[in-house]
Amino acid sequence: MDLIAALPVVPLQTLLVIPAIAAVVLALVPAYRIGARLNVIASGLTFLAALTLLVHRPPGDSGGYLFVDDLNIVFVVLGTFVGFTTSSFSASYIGHEIEIGRLTPLHLRFYHGMYQALSFAMNLGLLADNIGLMWVAIELATLTTVLMVGIYRTHDALEAAWKYFILGSVGIALALFGTILVYMAARPVIGEGHDAMVWTALVAHAHAFSPELLNVAFVFLMLGYGTKVGLAPLHAWLPDAHAEGPTPISAVLSGLLLNVALYALLRFKMLLAANPLAVAPGPLMVTLGLISLIFAAFMLYLRRDIKRLFAYSSIEHMGIIAFAFGMGGPLANFAGLLHMTMHSLTKSAIFFAVGQITQVKGTQRIADIRGLTESHPVLGWGLVVGVAAIAGLPPLGIFTSEFLLVTSTFARQPLLALPLVFGMVIAFGALLMRLSGIAFGKPSPSITQTHRISVLPLLVHLALVFAAGLWLPGPLVAWFQNVARMLG
């Protein structure tokens, strides 16, 4: 903490300027190795800039376009950290894709440029003090990931990218309509123009807004941004995007992009909570969360592709997170924040392992991946720990968040705790069933060797998840408790 406290004050714009400049530069760099290193450096500088927000709170801009508070700092720090570690993993993963001819140097210039454009869009969406600007940023983040999902230019990759684009466009259109309805509710109170779209002004005057307009707006916002979150039945784009795109993008989707859409929903949930006559948004979030959890838990048993398997695991856990925030209250909100953090770290670690596994085995078919703990011990045992963590086994971090959520739900709504625990148990069984064959038994043939450099991000993430299961620092607990109170 002393090291973090020594960091200088950094303007909020730095979190946008670094990836924006890097995107332009990387699009012009022809050499892969230089581009990969610059991508890691730019992501690392963005993460360092985000760390300064933990001790210094720079003021937002005078125009009401950017702001910072405890809630968006959680998402910014987590997102930039996962972006940095994923860029490190990506350097060797994509290098191997060039060696085997799946990608060309031109593809890589495009890939690195889009990676930094995605970082810019996500940071903009999280820091925006304007609901219209946030909508634009999330749409830009969607478009950049669509382009990266289709980078292999195969039939399946292009189909997945188009599916993602079409369903994402429907979702973002619904979110736009909900945003317009919020503006219409604010206009009679705040007045026309930019001020009626500023978050801080909206929250301050939300008690005077038309509750009918806010109620209808949240339904559209929940459906629109819920598509981006990957909640069932709005999830159809997610498994294909994971399966057909580069594995680093799978890590980014599960660890970053889903969280940005979730952040938007939480902001609008806070807006409705500030209006005493508006309908509580919690029941809708709880319902979609349980549907996503139980649906994804059963679908895990039917997956034959390892990346699709963990894509459905992401749907399951986003359902748990939506349920937690829908329940609300200090303990459930705290559990939701902790679960979101642990899921991002764990799932990205799993994809770091899966990316290497699919390269050394030359396949994504679960039936053709066997005996990893014997043939590739670091990858095999790394995946075992990752799956144990994502399944909620102690003493790993997700066990803590799920335990807090279940106990809170039992205390307040015992009947809701039954489907929650049922979904978790069903998913637990599916993951253990799949893991037993992948990790143990007679090894299946390998076609290449593991890249050593890619193991470090995996180990760092798993170490953090393990440490969080044993001990949470006091300042982190106090920070999350404050955010939980903000969320209501």
The model's pLDDT over 101-141, given as tens digits with 9 standing for 90+, comes to 777 777 788 889 999 999 999 999 999 999 999 999 999 99
The answer to whether residue 374 sits within a structural domain is yes
User: What pLDDT sits at residue 488?
Assistant: 78
How far is residue 52's CA from residue 13's CA, in Å, rounded to a whole number?
13
The answer to whether residue 487 sits within a structural domain is yes
pLDDT(326) > 80: yes
Work out the mean pLDDT of the chain and round it to a whole number: 88
User: What pLDDT sits at residue 358?
Assistant: 87
Give the global pTM: 0.93
* CB neighbour class for 302 (10 Å; exposed up to 12, middle 13-18, buried from 19): exposed
> What confidence tier does 59 reach under pLDDT thresholds 50, 70, 90?
low
pLDDT(52) > 60: yes
Report for 23-32, 59-68, 405-414: range of highest mean pLDDT: 405-414
For residue 79, the surrounding DSSP H or E stretch is: helix 70-99
User: What pLDDT sits at residue 5?
Assistant: 55
User: What pLDDT sits at residue 278?
Assistant: 86
User: What pLDDT sits at residue 256?
Assistant: 84
User: What pLDDT sits at residue 455?
Assistant: 83
Query: Which range marks the domain in which residue 483 is found?
Result: 280-488
> What confidence tier does 440 reach under pLDDT thresholds 50, 70, 90?
confident
The answer to whether residue 383 sits within a structural domain is yes
The answer to whether residue 440 sits within a structural domain is yes
The answer to whether residue 292 sits within a structural domain is yes
The answer to whether residue 212 sits within a structural domain is no
The answer to whether residue 215 sits within a structural domain is no
Residue 107, Cβ neighbours under 10 Å: how many?
A: 18
Provide the number of structural domains found in the chain: 1
The answer to whether residue 123 sits within a structural domain is no
